[in-house]
Amino acid sequence: MDPNWLKWAKQLAALSQDGLTYSDNEYEIERYQQIRRIAAEMMSAGFDLEAKAFIELFAREQGYATPKVDVRGAVFRDDKILLVKEKIDGGWTLPGGWADPCQSPSEAVAREVFEEAGFEVRVVKLAAVYDRSKHPHLPPMPFHLYKLFFLCEITGGQATESYETTGVAFFAEDSIPEPLSISRTLPFQIARMFEHYRNRALPTDFD
């Protein structure tokens, strides 16, 4: 779970973004810019990075602050789950990534599975909606994030690595590889996807 300092910094960053979106008074704008600097300094201390990096990151965010959306596909074949090996950290994860504008969540996860693993899929169920900050993902992130997990069925394609992945394979429940890319997928999430796979009638998990 996110430490308190990060939770407070995220809240201040969101407050400043909302204030800068809706304020037209120069004094209020200056105050919200100060709040943004405070949030950046808190994250600078927590992440051990320059505050300038966070100020620039926050400045790119416009409009009302909302959580970002990450989608993950749970794809099964012969009772084994599809995992990809991330090039960036060498860990295994369910294929997925950021949802793109102008795509539905199911379209986004189907795109991600194809791009990262080479399989065409049909999305059959929303299995879980998790708040990343409420689970032990590492490292922490400067933005609030929802993670959507979908059960998917293969309709075509073949295992194909991408510029983001160096491995594509199916694994039995008792043979999940290590290390996992815990920034993206946690062990309990994979275990839960097996449960949803075995029992499609389970309700969607949510925080």
Identify whether residues 31 and 75 lie together within a single domain.
no
Identify whether residues 30 and 90 lie together within a single domain.
no
Identify whether residues 80 and 51 lie together within a single domain.
no
Domain that holds residue 88: 68-206
Strands 96-98 and 92-93: unpaired
> Residues 152-161, buried b or exposed e (16+ Cβ, 10 A)?
bebeeeeeee
Mean confidence (pLDDT) of the chain: 95
- Region 118-144: what's the mean pLDDT? 96
- Region 67-95: what's the mean pLDDT? 97
Domain CATH for 160: 3.90.79.10
Of the chain, the end-to-end C-alpha distance in Å amounts to 13
Six token digits for residue 121: 């899929």
pLDDT for 31: 93
Identify whether residues 118 and 185 lie together within a single domain.
yes
